[in-house]
Amino acid sequence: MKKNILLIIISFLLLYFIIEFNNIDIAQFDIFRAETFLLVIFFTLILIILNTIRLYLISQRILKIKFIEYLYFSLTSFVFNVLSFSGTGELIKYYLLSYKLKKKDDIFSFFIIEKAYGLISILILTSTIFSFYFFGKTKFLFFLAFFLVFIFYVDKNNFFLKKIPYLNYFNFSFFDIYKDINKFLILLVSLLIHIIYILQLFLIMTLVYKNNSEFIITIILILTVLIMNTIPITYSGFGIREFSIILIGSFADFDKLGAVNSILSLGIYTFLIAVGVFLFLFLIFKINYKVDLLNTLFSKKIIKVRMK
């Protein structure tokens, strides 16, 4: 609880600094729009389903549970990532999943695979966008082809097994699990997750707030927001996402007011949706799993799920 309060204070200080730095009048804020709310609901649902599918693809051979349970755990992850500091949702999700495993250590394998493919998809998108912006279409296509071949080579030749041998000291079946998963599908879903997030914010900026900035600058800004959103130093991402406007604005000219309105609007509506989902899950987990999510959310040790 104390950490959440500290993160809230940091978030407000960052937001105040960003508003002052960009000379934005608070009276110009226009963050409550029905179009944004509908877009955020639609894309949040898609993102939760895609995250559920990725987790299912990774663990289906080990975890013998119904898809609806995967969905419950993904919803829980979404709620805690938004209502607490970033990353908490992942800990809660894997903690709950561990109760479904005979061999608890397998959960570490799922975590490594999911995070690794998430990181690879961000690297692919970042490399693609920046190479296109700085090097042009021809060099961009060459670089993309090289990057994909490199990933294929690393995967085929068991790079992790040969170059990171300390993984073998852990008591878990990482390579047995990794060998059996559909790597292409997991990478595709990971890319879709980040592309959907980018599309969501792009539509909010261009359709709702009529941002007329250069296309590639807008995409770079959104990609920066995506990366900054993973840094757990503010509450629910507020402040750190908006800080990306300063980073991109230092070398590019774009509609900063429209960007601030878009990012704040996305954050606020995502937060409200998370509150609604939390109330739904509170009943589901209380009845079906005997888990008290309210005590978990405000626990001194946020990663501890209190079982009745």
Three-class secondary structure assignment of the chain: CHHHHHHHHHHHHHHHHHHHHCCCCHHHCCCCCHHHHHHHHHHHHHHHHHHHHHHHHHHCCCCCCCHHHHHHHHHHHHHHHHHCCCCHHHHHHHHHHHCCCCCCCHHHHHHHHHHHHHHHHHHHHHHHHHHHHHHHHHHHHHHHHHHHHHHHHHHHCCHHHHHCHHHHHCCCCHHHHHHHCCHHHHHHHHHHHHHHHHHHHHHHHHHHCCCCCCHHHHHHHHHHHHHHCCCCCCHHHCCHHHHHHHHHHCCCCCCHHHHHHHHHHHHHHHHHHHHHHHHHHHHHHHHHCCECHHHHHCCCCCCCCCEC
Q: So what's the pLDDT on residue 63?
A: 83
Two tokens, residue 2: 């104390």
Closest CA to 306 of 294, 286, 292: 292
- Structural Rg of the chain based on CA atoms: 20
Q: What is the pLDDT along the chain (308 residues), one digit of tens a residue?
A: 556 677 677 777 777 777 777 777 776 788 889 999 999 999 999 999 999 999 999 998 888 788 888 998 899 889 888 887 666 788 888 877 877 777 777 888 888 889 889 988 998 888 888 777 776 666 667 766 776 777 666 666 555 555 555 454 444 567 778 878 888 899 999 999 999 999 999 999 999 999 888 888 899 899 989 888 887 777 778 888 888 888 887 777 788 888 889 999 999 999 999 999 988 887 776 666 566 666 655 554 444 443 33
pLDDT value for 303: 40
Report pLDDT for 301. 46
Packing angle of the helix pair 34-59, 106-156 (nearest 10 deg): 90
Residues 303 and 92 sit within 8 Å (Cβ to Cβ): yes
CA distance 79 to 72: 11
Please tell me the distance from the alpha carbon of residue 12 to that of residue 28, in angstroms, as a whole number: 18
In this predicted structure, what is the pLDDT of residue 137?
64
Q: Break the chain into its structural domains and give their ranges.
A: 2-297
173 contact partners, CB below 8 Å, separation of at least 6:
103, 105, 106, 109
CA dihedral over 150, 192, 129, 237, signed as positive or negative: negative
Q: What dihedral angle (degrees, nearest 10) is formed by the CA atoms of 16, 20, 24, 28?
A: 40
Per-residue pLDDT at 305? 42
Does the pTM of the predicted model rise above 0.75? yes
Residue written as token pair 């000379």: 23
